[in-house]
Amino acid sequence: MNLVISISLCNEAELRGWHHIGIETSCLARTITFYTQLIDFHTSEQIDLDDESLTFLTRGSLQLELVLPKQETEVSSGHVHFAWKVNNLTAWVEWLKEHNVFPVDGPYRVRRLQGVMYKGPNNETIELICSQQEHGQ
């Protein structure tokens, strides 16, 4: 039965690949230095939100999102989340809701992206991202 549900979901709302991996840090400068000097990533974008600052690093098609909380949190560093690109965010939100899985954050919009976050079975954070252009907005 799960296979049938997965197949019908994939036809309606496909996963399009990785968007980014997010790493929460307590020292943004040290983390940027590590990834840029040792692993050849380059800073591509910085976004200042109300409760956190985001720095995106890229290396080819790989993208890291460094998250610096503005207030001390329970997880002060090392928390990891991953994000998948999807073509129909609404379909994913509805399908997960039908299976009693509800967002922990979102839906939200940041620039040209729309997203929503969930907790996985091991407390990992799963983010689904869709460009507003793909989402028809």
| Confidence (pLDDT) at 12 | 62
Segment 80-84 shows an average pLDDT of 82
| CB contact set of 98 (below 8 Å; sequence gap of 6+) | none
| CA-based nearest residue to 64, from 73, 74, 56, 54 | 56
pLDDT tens digits for 14-33?
Answer: 777 788 888 888 888 888 98
Give the pLDDT band of residue 7 (cuts 50, 70, 90). very low
Asked if residues 92 and 60 have their Cβ atoms less than 8 Å apart, the reply is no
Asked if residues 135 and 129 have their Cβ atoms less than 8 Å apart, the reply is no
| Confidence (pLDDT) at 100 | 85
Q: Give the residue with greater pLDDT, 17 vs 51.
A: 51
Q: Give the residue with greater pLDDT, 40 vs 109.
A: 109
| Confidence (pLDDT) at 133 | 57
Ramachandran region, residue 41 (left: φ > 0; alpha: ψ -120 to 50; beta: rest): beta
Q: Which residue has the tokens 């993208």?
A: 63
